[in-house]
Amino acid sequence: MTTKTQKPSIAFFGIGLMGKPMAINLLNAGYPLKAWNRTVAKAEALVPFGATVASTPLDAADADIIITMLAAGPEVRSALEAALPTLKKNALVIDMSSTKQSEAIDLHALLAKSGIHFIDAPVSGGVLGAEAATLAIMAGGDIEQFERALPVLSVMGRATRVGPAGCGQVAKLCNQLIVGATINIVAEAMLLAQAGGADPAAMRTAIRGGFAESRILEVHGQRMLDRNFVPGGQVKTQLKDLENILHAAESASIRLPVTALVADNFRHLVTTHPAADHSAILIELEQHNPGQRVGSAEDKFS
């Protein structure tokens, strides 16, 4: 049990591009934190910030709150099943990974059998948002557990409860649907400007402030102009999210034809540039239009 002045202990699973700055923000806020990552060196990078390192999920999980930030649903379930014998009754698991709604619902049911609470709370905002603690956090779970989690979530960004368990993942899929399609459309606009004889950089400047203005145009539009495809978010991650969107649509008996086309573009790109930034969709479009290339800079991937 924690007192009013004592912060709950946290076990953090997944110290990757996103997980590392999220965990650092929690450590800087004074939360006692034990880190686990499959590659131990990544967890050890948090030691200077005050973290302790666990060699297995089982060793990490004796905490009040367990946060998972892993690649996909199967990895989340595997880690939590390994940790289950150590998880305390009434502990709260907050899965901040991007998974399928069905995976979140199944995990909620599994943990409930052992008296453990669950919230699915995927995020949007990329590495920059994780570093700045400005992530958009979409949470699914009961109100009491959301309020319990809110002080911790607020250290990492702005959290909104969108419904019961599993609904956080639905909201994240809606977010990724818009993000994936918009990145694709911005790339098409860049290519059209170039092919039509306009300066793509000047085009971007001209349309900013109008209805086309967006964070995607600002960040990924500049990446395309610079041909800077060093990963913030990776192509393979975007494709995973798009596949999950199409799976959710099929489960809800609806068709999403634009998303299906966008997924095809990312599906092709992942065969050549799986770890590049999402903005590398520009390269895929250029391959469909031989002789057309935006800008003269060399492509940067690392």
Query: Phi and psi for 150 in degrees, rounded to 5?
Result: -55, -45
* Active-site residue (options: 172, 236, 240, 300): 172
Contacts of 274 (CB under 8 A, 6+ apart): 234, 235, 236
Return the sign of the alpha-carbon dihedral for residues 141, 145, 147, 148.
negative
| C-alpha–C-alpha distance, residues 192 and 198, integer Å | 8
The number of beta carbons lying within 10 Å of the beta carbon of residue 189 is 18
CB 301 within 8 A of CB 229: yes
Length of the chain: 302
Query: Which residues have a Cβ under 8 Å from the Cβ of 164 and sit 6 or more positions away?
Result: 140, 141, 142
172 catalytic per annotation: yes
How far, rounded to the nearest angstrom, does the alpha carbon of residue 168 sit from its chain's CA centroid?
12
Handedness of CA 295, 296, 301, 302 (dihedral sign): negative
Catalytic residues: 172
